[in-house]
Amino acid sequence: MTGVASAPHPTPLLGKVVVVTGAARGQGAAEAEALARAGAQVIATDIAAAPGCRHLDVTSESDWSQLAAELEESYGQVHGLVNNAGITWRARLGEVRPEDFARVHAVNVTGPLLGIQHLSPLMPPGASIVNVGSTAALTAHYPVAYTASKWALRGLSRTAATELGPRGIRVNSVHPGYIETEMTASAHPAFRMANIRETPLGRTGTVDEITPLVVFLLSDDSSFISGAEIPVDGGLTAHGGVKSVSDAPRTEAGG
DSSP state of 179: B
Distance of CA 36 to CAs 15, 17, 50, Å?
11, 10, 16
Q: Which of residues 95-124 bind ligand NAI (CB under 6 A)?
A: 107
Under the binding rule (CB under 6 A), the answer on residue 25 touching ligand NAI is yes
Q: For ligand NAI, give the closer residue by CB, 30 or 169.
A: 30
> Binding residue for ligand NAI (CB under 6 A) from 12, 17, 19, 26?
26
Give the binding range for ligand NAI (CB under 6 A) out of 1-9, 12-20, 43-51, 93-101: 43-51
Cβ–Cβ under 8 Å, residues 109 and 54: no
The region that residue 126 occupies, defined by phi over 0 for left and psi between -120 and 50 for alpha, beta otherwise, is left
Q: Count of residues for the chain?
A: 255
> Binding residue for ligand NAI (CB under 6 A) from 13, 16, 27, 82?
27
Q: For ligand NAI, give the closer residue by CB, 84 or 199.
A: 84
Q: For ligand NAI, give the closer residue by CB, 27 or 237.
A: 27
Q: Which of residues 128-187 bind ligand NAI (CB under 6 A)?
A: 132, 134, 176, 178-179, 181-184
Size of the site for ligand NAI (CB under 6 A): 28
Q: Is 159 exposed, middle or buried (0-12, 13-18, 19+ CB in 10 A)?
A: middle
DSSP state of 138: G
Q: Is 178 considered catalytic here? A: no
Under the binding rule (CB under 6 A), the answer on residue 57 touching ligand NAI is yes
Cβ–Cβ under 8 Å, residues 18 and 6: no
Separation of alpha carbons 129 and 113, rounded Å: 11
- For the chain, the C-alpha Rg in angstroms (whole number) is 19
Under the binding rule (CB under 6 A), the answer on residue 67 touching ligand NAI is no
Under the binding rule (CB under 6 A), the answer on residue 58 touching ligand NAI is yes
Q: Which residues are catalytic?
A: 146
| Residue ranges in contact with ligand NAI by CB under 6 A | 21-22, 24-28, 46-48, 56-59, 84-87, 107, 132, 134, 176, 178-179, 181-184
